[in-house]
Amino acid sequence: MSGFTVTQEDMEAIALGGAFLGTGGGGDPYIGKLMAERAMRQSGPVTVIDPADVPDDALCVPVCMMGAPTVMLEKLPNGHEALGALAALEAYLGRKADYLICIEAGGLNSTIPFAVSAATGLPLIDGDGMGRAFPELQMVSFTMHDVSATPMVLADDKGNSSVLNAISNLWTERLARAQTVEMGGAALVALYPMSGAEMKRGILRNTLGLVLEIGRAIQSERRSNRHPGDALIKRCGGYDLCTGRVVDIERKTEGGFARGRAILRGLEDQQGKEFYLSFQNEFLCLEDDDGVPLALTPDLICALDADGGLPVTTESLRFGLAIRLIGLPADPQWRTDAGLDLAGPGYFGYAHAFSPIEDLTNASKT
């Protein structure tokens, strides 16, 4: 793998793949896709480079959106905030960035880095810090490798900005979250500035290539009038969790997050069964009607419309919608003790101890 080029025409596939790996959260990648397409029309395609090809002493910087993606959809970024955040971080560090990093391969933040990369001409590294979407900023592989999230810059659409220095990535999350809320619910941020060597130790590799492949698979299966679920399970080593219709949904907004639970009634060969799907921005826990877990964070629970095959977000869940849930094993880094401390079921307040989706699937079949 030695990198590839992403053109304006590829962004639709990137957005679809990002929505799938977004596991219901991270925001619809659509706005980021529009931003990237506009930047590419003006400045040409984006170079995606393999992590191995980045020098150890290069400065690598993730640029992304923080806050409620629903806000971003109503209050479109003007395109300057992300560049402003990057420039402010560069000014603070007294050094220009050499490469951009995608902080999460799922949701809106899977597309925004392409916009920044096109506008700045900086190459984007093929990989990310999550391999999916997660709701909090310390939930990245880089935290497990002791990379500090700060100095971090937050910039809003009005022209306010701040440079944060915190004693831990959890404190960065707390302080940046409060600021993001006050900035109107969403901010563009540049954070986790790191060397090429640090990037190579922590990054989940080649996930942008995977995003593009997933998106293309969804496109091609849909063009052939096939539901893309089977092809994605095959490509990603995934598991068919269930297909069901939403018969009930509870939502509450707590601490800036969209928390809730949907009840699905099984369809096809799962008629008569019920499934409980819990989320905090992302889908995090799926249980059967006896409360037995079928998939648990940090493993991925990806949702597709059971009919059309397009990715489904937690916001778009509604009574009567039929969805197909596909489980994917998380990157092995997430299944370590450090990974589970950061983003396991316990962190989110679910009672189940983590168990890999492979084991849960086998157990549910016996």
Q: Which residues of the chain form contacts with a second copy (CB under 8 A)? A: 92, 158-167, 171, 174-175, 177-179, 181-183
The 10 Å Cβ neighbour count of residue 238 is 20
Q: How far apart are CA 99 and CA 206, in angstroms?
A: 15
Task: Provide, rounded to whole angstroms, the least separation between the CB of residue 260 and a second copy.
Answer: 25
Please identify, using beta-carbon distances, which residue of 169 and 297 lies nearer to a second copy.
169
Task: Provide, rounded to whole angstroms, the least separation between the CB of residue 58 and a second copy.
Answer: 25
Please identify, using beta-carbon distances, which residue of 182 and 250 lies nearer to a second copy.
182
User: What are the two backbone dihedrals, phi and then psi, of residue 179, each rounded to the nearest 5 degrees?
Assistant: -70, -40
Please identify, using beta-carbon distances, which residue of 94 and 291 lies nearer to a second copy.
94
Task: Provide, rounded to whole angstroms, the least separation between the CB of residue 178 and a second copy.
Answer: 4
Task: Provide, rounded to whole angstroms, the least separation between the CB of residue 256 and a second copy.
Answer: 12
Q: How far apart are CA 93 and CA 134, in angstroms?
A: 27
Cβ neighbours for 178, distance < 8 A, ≥ 6 positions apart? none
Task: Provide, rounded to whole angstroms, the least separation between the CB of residue 159 and a second copy.
Answer: 4
Radius of gyration of the chain measured on its C-alpha atoms? 19
Task: Provide, rounded to whole angstroms, the least separation between the CB of residue 173 and a second copy.
Answer: 10
Token code pair at residue 233: 């399970």
Task: Provide, rounded to whole angstroms, the least separation between the CB of residue 183 and a second copy.
Answer: 7
H helix intervals, 183-254: 196-202, 207-223, 229-236
Task: Provide, rounded to whole angstroms, the least separation between the CB of residue 342 and a second copy.
Answer: 20
Cβ neighbours for 347, distance < 8 A, ≥ 6 positions apart? 340, 341
CB 64 within 8 A of CB 112: yes
CB 301 within 8 A of CB 286: yes
Burial class (CB within 10 angstroms; exposed 0-12, middle 13-18, buried 19+) of 324: buried
Please identify, using beta-carbon distances, which residue of 23 and 172 lies nearer to a second copy.
172
Longest dimension (CA), the chain: 62
Q: How far apart are CA 99 and CA 258, in angstroms?
A: 32
Please identify, using beta-carbon distances, which residue of 131 and 193 lies nearer to a second copy.
193
Please identify, using beta-carbon distances, which residue of 140 and 166 lies nearer to a second copy.
166
Token code pair at residue 358: 């492979």
**DSSP designation for 203:** P
Q: How far apart are CA 144 and CA 157, in angstroms?
A: 32
Task: Provide, rounded to whole angstroms, the least separation between the CB of residue 123 and a second copy.
Answer: 29
Please identify, using beta-carbon distances, which residue of 34 and 163 lies nearer to a second copy.
163
Please identify, using beta-carbon distances, which residue of 158 and 252 lies nearer to a second copy.
158
Tokens 């983590």, located at residue: 354
Tokens 């954070």, located at residue: 191
**DSSP designation for 333:** G
Please identify, using beta-carbon distances, which residue of 154 and 304 lies nearer to a second copy.
154
